[in-house]
Amino acid sequence: MEEEQDFQFILPFKNSDLLNSRGDQFYVQQIYTANEIPEQLLACKSKVHQRDPFYIFEHFDTYYSIIETTANDAAAIRNLMRAFDLLYLTVDTLGGQLSPLLSSSEPPSSHDRVRFLNLTKMTLFLFINTVKRIDIVVQQVLKEQQLNQQKKRGKQAEALEQYPDWDVKRGKFLVQLYNVMQYELEKLWSPPVAEENFVTMVCDICYRTLELVPQRADNRQCIDTLFYIFGIAIKRYNHAITFPARILQILRSTEHASTTVANGILLLHEKYGITTVFSILMKDIVEGLILDTSDTAVSRNFSNFLTEFSGIAPKMMIPHLSKLGDELLGCESHVLRNCVLQIMGDAVVGELTSEELDDEMKEARNEFLDSLLAHVNDISAHVRSKVLHIWHHLKEQHAIPLSYLIPVMREAVCRLEDKSSLVRKSAIQLIKAFLENNPYSGKLTHEELMKKYQKEVQVMEQLDEVIIEERKQAEKLNEQWKLVIPELMPIIEQSLNESPELQIDKEEPYEDLVNKILPLLVEKNYKDATVLVRKADFVLGNYEVSQLLNIEERCVYFISLFKTFLSMASGFKDSSEEMQKQIKTVEFLKDSIEFSLVATCAMPKMLELLMSKTNTDVFEAVDLFTTGYLFGIQGTQAGMQRMLNLVWSSDKEKRDAVSNAYRRVLFTTDLTGRAHSIKVVQNLSKFLSEIEYGHYTALEQLMGEWVASENVDALIIQVLFERFTLKLEGTTKDESRLALQLLIMASQAKSTISSANRVIIEDIAVGERAKQDPRIYTGCLQLLVNSIDANNNSKYYKRNAMDAKFVQQITSLFLAFFVHPKLPEFDALAMSLFEYYYRMCQAPDELAQHIVKELLGRFNDQWLVSAPSSAEQPPLTQTTDIPYSQPMPMSQGQSQSQLPSQPADGPVRMPVYLVARFVFCVGYMTIKEMIFLDMDVYNNMKYREELTALEEKKNKKDGVNALRRQTVSAMEVRKRLSGVAAEPQQEPDDDLVGATAEDNIAEEINAICEDMLLYDPNALMSKIYPLIIDICKRPGEYRDQHLQQSATLTLARLMTVSSKFCETNMSFLMNILNMTKNIKIKCNTVVGLSDLTFRFPNVIEPWTGHFYSQLHEENTELRLTAVKMLSHLILHEMIRVKGQIADLALCIVDESDEIKNITKQFFKEIANKSNILYNVLPDIISILGDINLHLEEEKYRIIMRYILGLIQKDRQIETLVEKLCLRFPLTRAERQWRDIAYCLGLLSYNERSLKKLIDNVQHFKDKVQIDEVYQSFKQIITNTSKLAKPELKAVVTEFETRLNECLQVTEPGSNPQTDGAPSESRANKTKTARPGTKSQRGRPKASSGRRKQNARPETSSEEESSDDDRATRSRRQTAQQRNRMAPSSESSD
Q: Residue 935 pLDDT more than 70?
A: yes
Q: What is the pLDDT of residue 496?
A: 74
The DSSP line for 353-407 is --TT--HHHHHHHHHHHHHHHHGGG-SSHHHHHHHHHHHHHHHHTT-S-HHHHHH
Q: What is the pLDDT of residue 890?
A: 36
Q: Residue 963 pLDDT more than 60?
A: no
Cα separation, 1181 vs 1142, whole angstroms: 8
Cα separation, 1348 vs 1351, whole angstroms: 5
Say how many C-beta atoms besides its own lie within 10 A of residue 15's C-beta: 14
Cα separation, 1224 vs 962, whole angstroms: 63
The band of 862, judged by pLDDT with boundaries at 50, 70 and 90, is: low
Q: Looking at residues 144-166, what average pLDDT do you find?
A: 59
User: Which range among 246-250, 468-472, 1070-1074 shows the weakest confidence by mean pLDDT?
Assistant: 468-472
Q: What is the pLDDT of residue 995?
A: 47
Q: What is the pLDDT of residue 1358?
A: 33
Q: What is the pLDDT of residue 1317?
A: 39
User: Which range among 912-916, 1276-1280, 1343-1347 shows the weakest confidence by mean pLDDT?
Assistant: 1343-1347
pLDDT digits (tens, 9 = 90+) for 536-592: 777 776 766 777 677 777 777 777 777 777 776 666 666 777 888 888 889 989 999
Q: Looking at residues 10-24, what average pLDDT do you find?
A: 85
Q: What is the pLDDT of residue 955?
A: 53
pTM of the model: 0.73
Q: What is the mean pLDDT of the chain?
A: 80
DSSP β-bridge partners for residue 911: 885
pLDDT digits (tens, 9 = 90+) for 809-831: 999 999 999 988 888 889 999 99
Cα separation, 211 vs 208, whole angstroms: 5
Q: What is the pLDDT of residue 1024?
A: 86
Q: What is the pLDDT of residue 1187?
A: 86
The amino acid sitting at 663 is R
Cα distances from 729 to residues 678, 723, 732, 735, in angstroms, run 12, 8, 9, 12
Cα separation, 108 vs 190, whole angstroms: 11
Q: Residue 621 pLDDT more than 60?
A: yes
Q: What is the pLDDT of residue 493?
A: 76
- Is the torsion defined by CA of 1135, 1141, 1143, 1145 positive or negative? positive
The band of 866, judged by pLDDT with boundaries at 50, 70 and 90, is: very low
Cα separation, 1144 vs 1142, whole angstroms: 5
Cα separation, 1274 vs 1266, whole angstroms: 12
Q: Residue 915 pLDDT more than 50?
A: yes
Relative orientation angle of helices 526-539 and 446-498, to the nearest 10 degrees = 110
Helices of type H across 273-358? 276-291, 297-312, 314-328, 334-351
Helix (H) or strand (E) holding 1050: helix 1041-1055
> Would you give the DSSP letter of residue 178?
H
778 in Cβ contact with 770 (< 8 Å) = no
The band of 626, judged by pLDDT with boundaries at 50, 70 and 90, is: very high
Q: Looking at residues 99-113, what average pLDDT do you find?
A: 86
pLDDT digits (tens, 9 = 90+) for 1005-1039: 888 888 888 888 888 888 888 888 888 888 888 88
Q: Residue 200 pLDDT more than 80?
A: yes
Cα distances from 1184 to residues 276, 665, 1177, 1351, in angstroms, run 70, 44, 11, 10
Cα distances from 1090 to residues 1108, 1122, 1127, 1128, in angstroms, run 12, 9, 10, 8
Q: Does residue 157 or residue 599 have the better pLDDT?
A: 599
SS3 1000: helix
Cα separation, 129 vs 137, whole angstroms: 12
Q: What is the pLDDT of residue 857?
A: 83
Cα separation, 439 vs 787, whole angstroms: 50
Q: What is the pLDDT of residue 288?
A: 82
Q: Looking at residues 206-231, what average pLDDT do you find?
A: 89
The DSSP line for 56-86 is HHHHHHHHHHHHH----SHHHHHHHHHHHHH
Q: Does residue 642 or residue 543 have the better pLDDT?
A: 642
Q: Residue 1381 pLDDT more than 70?
A: no
The band of 505, judged by pLDDT with boundaries at 50, 70 and 90, is: low
CA dihedral 894, 895, 898, 901 (to 10 degrees): 120
SS3 632: coil
The amino acid sitting at 759 is V
Cα separation, 1140 vs 874, whole angstroms: 52
User: Which range among 218-232, 674-688, 866-880 shows the weakest confidence by mean pLDDT?
Assistant: 866-880
Q: What is the pLDDT of residue 1332?
A: 36
% helix / strand / coil in the chain, to the nearest 5? 70, 0, 30
Helix (H) or strand (E) holding 1296: helix 1286-1302
Q: What is the pLDDT of residue 959?
A: 45
The amino acid sitting at 259 is T
pLDDT more than 90, % of the chain: 25
> Would you give the DSSP letter of residue 1209?
-
Q: What is the pLDDT of residue 974?
A: 59
Q: What is the pLDDT of residue 383?
A: 93
Q: What is the pLDDT of residue 573?
A: 67
Q: What is the pLDDT of residue 175?
A: 92
pLDDT digits (tens, 9 = 90+) for 1196-1236: 999 999 988 888 888 888 899 998 999 898 888 899 999 99
* Residues 6 or more apart in contact with residue 395 via CB below 8 angstroms: 430, 433, 434, 437
897 in Cβ contact with 932 (< 8 Å) = no
Q: Does residue 561 or residue 377 have the better pLDDT?
A: 377
* Residues 6 or more apart in contact with residue 1141 via CB below 8 angstroms: 1130, 1176, 1179, 1180
Helix (H) or strand (E) holding 910: strand 908-911
The band of 807, judged by pLDDT with boundaries at 50, 70 and 90, is: very high
Q: Looking at residues 1150-1175, what average pLDDT do you find?
A: 85
Q: Looking at residues 1148-1177, what average pLDDT do you find?
A: 86
Cα separation, 970 vs 952, whole angstroms: 25
Q: Residue 1376 pLDDT more than 50?
A: no
